[in-house]
Amino acid sequence: MKVLVTGGAGFIGSHVVDLLVAKGHQVVVADDLSSGRQENVNPEAQFYEVDIRSPELEKLFVAEAPEVISHHAAKANVRESMTKPLLYAEVNVLGSLNLLELSRKHGVRKLIYASSGGAVYGEPQYLPVDEDHPIRPLDPYGASKHHVEHYLHLYHVNWGLSYTILRYPNVYGPRQDPRGEAGVVAKFAYQMLRRQQPVINGSGEQERDFVYVSDVARSNLLALEQGDNGTWNLGTGLGTSIKEIFARLKAITGYRGNSMHAPPIPGEVFKIWLDASRARRELAWRPTVSLEEGLRRTVEHLAAMPGEG
């Protein structure tokens, strides 16, 4: 099967590409390299440097004729979205619409959409959060990710484009940019290895549902042939506090310092973890990498980076 992975040079997208290639699929990558890295792209994938908003994207569809799209290209920083809401609407909403229009025009069979289980629901009314929980995002990033979900349904009803919506938890692992705003695991581990001072925003009592990147990538493989026209949470069903992440990484890295605290980030949910029982039942998906093992793998990857450790 020929699969186009948008954002395939990025953190999660590149792991999706690797898994698809390993399973024998033909893979095409579209990425503008605004946050992704070309060295992340599997050498067996066909790479196009292109913005999903660009009219140039159609050239890829003409040349490659993808059957399925795994859509990961997005702006994905909650803090940045609070100050640049127009940019997040342009990239995440209008860019996705450009992709949907090209999918309709060029006969794409299905689009697998990476949505956000951590941002679309807002502050939970109950925990763990299932797919029927009200949608009340607190930041423009979450709003932009959910907005596209409506268009997916619309394109299915009117033009027969199948879709699978995967609402991701807090994903961590190798290739997550430790110098960006997103990714507390990568950021803390990177700083601890370099004996820098990690800073916890807020009290550290915030809780998130952490899932290792290879488990999230596998959900995209499962969605190639099943899960049409529905929405699935991914997650462990357990919350882990930021303070616990700090403590576990401190033990793994041998860091001797203590945490510092800064004000909380506006727009961030305080506590959320996801009910993924529907994904277990209907997609046969479940996380397989424990938090401790995933943290160790992440630290090993960062320690091996040039100049780290």
Q: Which of 113, 141, 151, 172 is catalytic?
A: 141
Q: Which of 205, 202, 216, 300 is nearest to 245 (CA)?
A: 205
> 115 in the Ramachandran plot: left (φ > 0), alpha (ψ -120 to 50) or beta?
beta
d(CA 45, CA 95) in angstroms, rounded, equals 22
Token couple for 39 = 């060295």
Q: Which of 158, 151, 168, 199 is nearest to 279 (CA)?
A: 168
Tell me which amino acid residue 1 is. Answer: M
Is 141 a known active-site residue? yes
Phi, psi (rounded to 5 degrees) for 166: -115, 115
Token couple for 285 = 């998906």
Write out the catalytic residue numbers.
141
